[in-house]
Amino acid sequence: MKAVYYYFERDFRKWTRGRVNVFATLVRPAAWLIFVGMAFPAKFTDNYLAFITPSILVMTVLFSSLQGGTLIIFDKILGFMNKFLALPAPRESLLLGKILFISTRGLIQATVLLLMAAFLGVRIQSPLNIALVYLTLFLFAVLISAFSSMIGLKLGDHDSYASVNSMVSMPLFFASSALMPYEVMPEWLRTLARLNPVSYAIDSTRALFEGNIPAEGILGLAVAALIMILIGTYQFRRATVQS
Amino acid sequence: MIEIKNLSKNFGDLWAVRDMDLEVENEIFGLLGPNGAGKSTTVMMLTTLMKPSRGSAKVCGYDVVKESKKVREQISYVPQDMALDRKLTGRENVLLYAKIYGVRDRAEKTENVLELLELSGRADDLVKTYSGGMRRRLELAQALVHEPEVLFLDEPTLGLDVAARKKIWGHISSLREKGVTIFMTTHYLEEAENYCDRVAIIDKGEIKAVGSPSELKGELGKEASLNDVFLKNVQSKEEETKFNPVAFRNILRRR
């Protein structure tokens, strides 16, 4: 299992050396925080920034994890994958290393966002809740990055993946409890939002910001993440050795 | 070192490799053939990246299907794509493999292979600053860091200039002297002629001829080169479609 860490380390180093990547991934969440969070004239709350900060945290992790699906595609088309699969380490460590890297990257982006929000006056009451926010976001990142890597491997080229990504990401975000509470949604949107896994992550994170502990939500995400890893690993084994 | 029995691989109706029998000893063995002859498919099966449809193969005594992990511990594989991390240094690229292989004293072993392939001076530079020949040598360094018994090379000199090719071949030859078995594919017949102990010519998934370059040439007479042996055994796509020089000239004249 050490190999998982080594694959993670490889991606992480490459990421930190592309300074533009690091900078660019931080700008979008900041823009949301400022241009939406601080400007949107919401009627259901007098502190929209506090309401939307958890949503933007989850969104950051969601988009970054979905985008992460391209990593495994590039390893495949550039020939890295064949070299790695000919190594004696368990083959799925490559996939797990990717999931670990994408999730860690998402948490780093979330940290910067949390600091910005704190600067703008958003607070979390207890250290335990901060830790649980990280746990929630991590589980959600694992769920989505396992999913995106699986789709990436299935599609096999980054152009198709980019179209699927842009098709999936916006509806997932908007059809969730990100921008408004369930009470003010139209009936049809409420039904969709209740089914959307993104809502689970947002609701849990929001509860943690409000000082509650959403045990059910976190447990649900943990189970979903685990199942997605199992499916992803199974599909990875099938897709990588041609029989 | 490598025993191949009846090895076959089909994709639907197309037999990429068909009933291949081959034994490779401790030597430099070259697999020659036109594009699409089944060279890469053979290498993929021997390196456990692809499962055979029929037949079997053993590398270092281990079955490539049933004991694939054991096989991977003994071998190294350098595909033709040149997959190196451009944003990592040469040393980091090698160290990654040393770590994943679980090599003991990996820092020291990494230095040794970098030195062996004459890359020590540039080891801390990012790979994006490396020339094609240096990149290929870096890939060899990655492949050698765990001291494999068998080295699989897919077109190791493809796209390199003459000097770089000569250097790569120098390294490959010195590896054989150290006891490493080398199984490689190539398009460059002169290179195979000069450096391989034995070669096999493969066409449409079937082995047409096996032997040392001089044996194979001897069958055709004094003046023959490996090129002649190759052309005698292989029907290329160009020949099959019957190139018609008269029609070709007419097309040119019309312009």
**Where do the structural domains in chain A lie, given as residue ranges?**
2-240
pLDDT, tens digit (0-9, with 9 covering 90-100), for A197-212: 999 999 999 999 999 9
Of chain B, the percentage scoring pLDDT greater than 70 comes to 95
Substitution target from B10, B42, B49, B129 for chain A, most A beta carbons within 10 A:
B49
Among chain A residues, the shortest Cα distance to B139 is held by A83
Q: Which residues of A touch B79 (CB under 8 A)?
A: 79, 82-83
Q: Write the residue in B80, B92, B101 that is nearest to A87 by C-beta.
A: B101
Give Cα A77 to chain centroid, integer Å.
24
Q: How high is the ipTM of this complex?
A: 0.88
The pTM assigned to this predicted structure is 0.89
pLDDT, tens digit (0-9, with 9 covering 90-100), for B121-170: 999 999 999 998 899 999 999 999 999 999 999 988 888 888 888 888 99
Pair type for strands B181-186 and B150-154: parallel
**The pLDDT of residue A1:** 80
Q: Which residues of A touch B87 (CB under 8 A)?
A: 13-14, 17-18
Q: How far apart are CA B65 and CA B63, in angstroms?
A: 6
Three-state secondary structure along A151-199?
HHHHHCCHHHHHHHHHHHHHHHHHCCCCCCCHHHCCHHHHHHHHHCHHH
* Residue A69 distance to chain B (closest CA, Å): 18
* Residue A89 distance to chain B (closest CA, Å): 7
Q: How far apart are CA B32 and CA B207, in angstroms?
A: 10
**The pLDDT of residue B108:** 94
DSSP string of A42-98, one letter each residue: -SS-S-HHHHHHHHHHHHHHHHHHHHTHHHHHHHHHTTHHHHHHTSSS-TTHHHHHH
The CATH number given to B2-83+149-254 is 3.40.50.300
**What are the tokens at B30?**
């070259």
Pair type for strands B28-32 and B181-186: parallel
Q: Write the residue in B44, B79, B88 that is nearest to A14 by C-beta.
A: B88
Helices (H), B102-225: 106-116, 132-144, 162-177, 189-195, 213-218
Under DSSP, the state recorded for B9 is E
* Residue A135 distance to chain B (closest CA, Å): 28
pLDDT, tens digit (0-9, with 9 covering 90-100), for B164-202: 888 889 989 999 999 999 999 988 888 888 899 999 999
Q: How far apart are CA A72 and CA A54, in angstroms?
A: 29
**The pLDDT of residue B236:** 61
Interchain pair A87, B87: CB under 8 A:
no
Interchain pair A83, B79: CB under 8 A:
yes
**The pLDDT of residue B219:** 74
Q: How far apart are CA B114 and CA A106, in angstroms?
A: 35
- The lowest-confidence range among B15-24, B53-62, B173-182, B208-217 is B208-217
Domain boundaries, chain B: 2-83+149-254
**What are the tokens at A128?**
């335990």
Contact A93, A7 (CB under 8 A): yes
Q: b/e per residue, B185-196, with b = 16+ CB within 10 A?
A: bbebbebbbebb
* Residue A236 distance to chain B (closest CA, Å): 13
Residue B245 has pLDDT above 80, yes or no: no
Residues of chain A with pLDDT under 70: 242-243
Q: Write the residue in A6, A10, A86 that is nearest to B72 by C-beta.
A: A86
A87 Cβ contact list (under 8 Å, min separation 6):
A3, B72, B97, B100, B101
**The pLDDT of residue B239:** 61
**The pLDDT of residue B230:** 80
Interface contacts A/B by beta carbons within 8 Å: 71
**What are the tokens at A2?**
């050490």
